[in-house]
């Protein structure tokens, strides 16, 4: 027991130090990336190391669900009201394109259908990774593809804006308070606990993430003054918990597999980016928003980086956040249903 506590403390300290360094370097989702790297390094160098306790992973899932649900804002939904049909079609279209890309990837590589589908789902990366195992996918490979997509989008978006839309440039968004406020702490913990209880009682697929997410969204939208932000420190601890869980499950065999997967995964990601730009053109033609707004609203992932670019480029950040937020909800809610329907009878690899 003491050895387990020492191992967990060491992993936590290493993740915190690396996460802080990556955050200072400007990398989005720095603590999650750090946890993945620390977990991977520990799994390779110390193969006998135990994973994180199951309750830690479940708690991390619940908090991530609250993070996703708390991002819903009535003002963003109001901004979408006049364009609800094209926005909904674009969100569903993105899911269809993602699943099609995953299907192709499963045909041309060694990954199975559930892993390919979830690996290519464009949006809600942390949520998708958190539910991967429950859907019969290989969480290690799903995490690799999801964060490869996020990394590509984060790197390309600020570079493409001045090329595609001269006169605009990227920028940054002021961060939330690291420790938040009492309201944020109480609502986050309360919603996570209640949502987890509901998920266990109803035995929902990926319920440990979905139930807190839906409950948080309901609190934000239905309760007067219910808007709240999950404290940054709590977010990062939850992301780190998921990252460590995934990272500690890597093996040398998995790493060798990633080398074979890198090129086809990159090809599918770039194809997905181009396809989503086609959806942006459709959104531009059917609504009053500019092509810049439509492009940023349909970019396949990297929500926080995209919002940062939107602020700096003078784009309609409310509309962009609304579309991106709606798409995350659609992806996380419908992905389990779609994956189970598309991959009936599939067997998990790994």
Range of lowest pLDDT (15-24, 196-205, 213-222, 258-267): 196-205
Is residue 204 scored above 80 in pLDDT? no
Domain ranges of the chain: 2-342
Q: What pLDDT score does 150 carry?
A: 75
- Nearest CA to 293 among 137, 86, 121, 33? 86
Instruction: Give 158-162's long-range contacts (Cβ < 8 A, gap of 24+).
Output: 158/305, 158/309, 161/292, 161/309, 161/313
CA 37 – CA 14 distance, rounded (Å): 10
Helix 30-45 to helix 252-286 angle, to the nearest 10 degrees?
Answer: 160
280: tokens are 């942006």
52 — pLDDT class (breaks 50, 70, 90) = confident
Q: Mean pLDDT, the chain, as a whole number?
A: 81
- The whole-number pLDDT of residue 27 equals 63
Q: What is residue 144's three-state secondary structure? A: helix
Contact 274/133 with Cβ under 8 angstroms?
no
More confident residue, 210 or 59: 59
Tell me, what's the pLDDT at 349?
38
319 confidence band (pLDDT: 50, 70, 90): confident
What does DSSP assign to residue 83?
Answer: G
3-state secondary structure of 314: coil
Q: Which residue has the higher pLDDT, 342 or 170?
A: 342
How many CB atoms neighbour CB 110 within 10 A?
13
CA atoms of 80 and 86, how far apart (whole Å): 10
The two three-digit tokens of residue 136, written as one number: 């019969």
What is the C-alpha separation between 270 and 252, in angstroms, rounded?
27
**pLDDT per position as a tens digit, 150-186:** 778 766 776 777 778 876 554 444 455 678 789 999 9
Confidence of residue 348 (pLDDT cuts 50, 70, 90): very low
Tell me if the domain spanning 2-342 has CATH number 1.10.12: no
pLDDT value at position 29? 64
275 falls in which pLDDT band (50, 70, 90)? very high
Do the beta carbons of residue 153 and residue 273 sit within 8 Å? yes
What is the residue whose two structure tokens read 């192709």?
104
- Residues 110-119: tens digit of each pLDDT: 898 889 988 9
pLDDT confidence of residue 289: 84
d(CA 253, CA 250): 8
**In degrees to the nearest 10, what's the CA dihedral of 128, 283, 87, 270?**
-10
Residue range 47-60: average pLDDT? Answer: 81
Instruction: Provide the percentage of residues in the chain whose pLDDT is more than 70.
Output: 85
Please tell me the distance from the alpha carbon of residue 237 to that of residue 153, in angstroms, as a whole number: 24
- Closest among 328, 301, 306 to 316, alpha carbons compared: 306
Residue 49 pLDDT exceeds 80: no
Put simply, whether the predicted model's pTM sits higher than 0.75 gets the answer no
Q: Which ranges of the chain would DSSP assign to H, the alpha helix?
A: 2-24, 30-45, 54-70, 74-80, 84-108, 113-120, 125-131, 139-164, 182-202, 207-222, 232-247, 252-286, 291-298, 303-313, 317-342
Note the pLDDT of residue 287: 85
pLDDT at position 67 over 50: yes
* pLDDT tens figures, 27-46: 656 787 788 889 888 888 88
What's the token pair of residue 299? 């970019």
Q: Is the pLDDT of residue 226 over 70?
A: yes
Q: Are 325 and 68 in contact (CB under 8 A)?
A: no
């Amino acid at each position: 027991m003491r050895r387990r506590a020492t191992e967990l403390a060491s992993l936590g300290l290493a993740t915190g130090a690396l996460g802080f360094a990556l955050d200072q370097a400007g990398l989005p989702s720095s603590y999650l990336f750090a946890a993945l790297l620390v977990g991977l390094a520990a799994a390779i160098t110390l193969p006998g190391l135990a994973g994180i306790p199951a309750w830690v992973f479940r708690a991390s899932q619940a908090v991530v669900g609250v993070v996703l649900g708390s991002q819903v804002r009535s003002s963003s939904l109001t901004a979408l009201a006049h364009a609800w049909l094209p926005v909904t079609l674009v969100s569903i279209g993105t899911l269809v394109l993602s699943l099609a890309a995953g299907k192709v990837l499963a045909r041309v590589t060694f990954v199975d259908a559930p892993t390919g589908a979830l690996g290519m789902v464009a949006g809600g990366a942390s949520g998708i990774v958190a539910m991967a195992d429950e859907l019969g996918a290989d969480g290690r490979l799903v995490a690799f593809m999801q964060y490869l997509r996020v990394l590509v989008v984060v790197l390309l978006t600020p570079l493409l804006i001045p090329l595609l839309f001269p006169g605009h440039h990227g920028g940054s968004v002021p961060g939330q308070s690291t420790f938040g406020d009492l309201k944020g702490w109480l609502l986050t913990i309360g919603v996570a606990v209640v949502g987890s209880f509901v998920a266990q009682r109803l035995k929902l697929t990926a319920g440990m993430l979905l139930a807190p997410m839906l409950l948080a969204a309901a609190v934000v939208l239905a309760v007067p003054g219910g808007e709240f932000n999950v404290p940054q420190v709590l977010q990062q601890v939850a992301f780190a918990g998921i990252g460590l869980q995934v990272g500690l499950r890597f093996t040398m065999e998995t790493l060798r597999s990633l080398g074979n997967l890198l090129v086809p995964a990159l090809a599918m990601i770039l194809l997905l980016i181009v396809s989503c730009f086609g959806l942006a053109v459709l959104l531009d033609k059917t609504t009053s928003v500019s092509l810049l707004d439509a492009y940023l609203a349909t970019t396949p992932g990297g929500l926080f980086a995209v919002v940062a670019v939107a602020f700096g480029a003078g784009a309609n950040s409310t509309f962009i956040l609304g579309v991106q937020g709606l798409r995350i909800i659609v992806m996380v809610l419908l992905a389990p249903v779609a994956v189970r329907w598309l991959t009936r009878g599939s067997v998990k690899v790994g």
